[in-house]
Amino acid sequence: MPNLKSNKTQFIILLILVLAVIYIYFGDGVRKESNLKADLISIDTSKVSEIILSPKSNGEKVKLHKENDGWKVELSDNKFASVPTEKVINMLSTLLKIKPNVLVSRKKENWDEYQVGENATKVEIYENGNKNLDLVVGKYSFQQPRQMNSYVRLASETEVYEVDGFLEMQFNQKKNSFRDNTIIKDNESNWVSLKFNYPDEKYSMIRDNGTWKIDGIEADSLETVNYLKSLARLSSTEYIDNFVEGKTTKTITIERDDSTNIVLNEMVSNSTVVVNSSVNKESFFDAAKNELGNKIFVNKNIFIK
């Protein structure tokens, strides 16, 4: 009898172990890392020709396509805007770094829990016109202090993986977030003069042995430094895409120490006022939003002590 009881106990333990193994590998359990896919994503960045994002935030697709050596984002009305190459490089780099940490689910009924269903953010990558990747990006979570993970799924598969990183922030974006929002990006220490040309005022600010002067009079150092620093790193996301170039009303010409110039223009057309620069000629920014125009085209008296 003791042997029978012992055999029965051993059988039950063995059965439990077998069921546990079946659950882990064929049910909805977590795989051991050694059994995970080593590479969930494979991209040849030299062949990438198009990127399509379907953000869950507004459902409006973002289409980026390669044009010669640069990238464009498709706007409305068959218009396109340039995309800084580094933004595409960063996006592809993020995708290549995605490695499965844990297989969290094999079942479609669990997609909603990880937010990888039909309404999730999707990333499609095309290489030479052929779709190479169709990735579904789900919710993110905090696993440790300062450690963020995300849940992803290949669109053609049911498995959901936990991976490193905050993917939602990069891929759940609108069209304008991929555009060049630069008005000026420079170092003000390279500037030797600024010429302000307004309808009611014209003046010049010249650097003389490290001191800025207006009409030979030393300018207020604090006001001048603050203004030049803000001007040197100027950007906006308030685009006016239907602007037809109109009358130029105000101009600032910045001369650099290498004898090149940066030109800022305020333009008006049909009561719409925009800011445009020689650094980013194709973009027109709303001069009224956040008082952009007032911050740029200042009067001489603010620099006078």
Torsion-angle region of 60 (φ positive above 0: left; ψ -120 to 50: alpha; else: beta): beta
What the chain holds in terms of domains, given with CATH numbers, is 33-178 (2.60.40.4250), 182-303 (no CATH)
Angle (CA) 74 77 81, round 5°: 35
What is the sign, positive or negative, of the torsion defined by CA atoms of 97, 103, 108, 114? negative
Q: Which residues of the chain have pLDDT under 50?
A: 1, 18, 21-22, 24-34
Cα–Cα nearest to 114, from 78, 192, 66, 167: 167
Strand partners, 70: 67
Contact 241, 258 (CB under 8 A): no
- The per-residue pLDDT for 26 is 47
- The per-residue pLDDT for 215 is 86
Length of the chain: 305
- The per-residue pLDDT for 146 is 76
Q: What is the pTM of this model?
A: 0.80
Q: What is the pLDDT of residues 188-225, one digit of tens each?
A: 999 999 999 999 999 999 999 989 999 889 999 999 99
- The per-residue pLDDT for 11 is 54
Largest CA distance in the chain: 112
- The per-residue pLDDT for 33 is 45
Bridge pairing between strands 202-208 and 211-214: antiparallel
E strands, the chain, in order: 48-54, 62-67, 70-74, 80-83, 100-105, 121-127, 130-144, 147-154, 160-164, 182-185, 191-197, 202-208, 211-214, 217-218, 233-235, 247-256, 261-269, 272-277, 280-286
- The per-residue pLDDT for 30 is 47
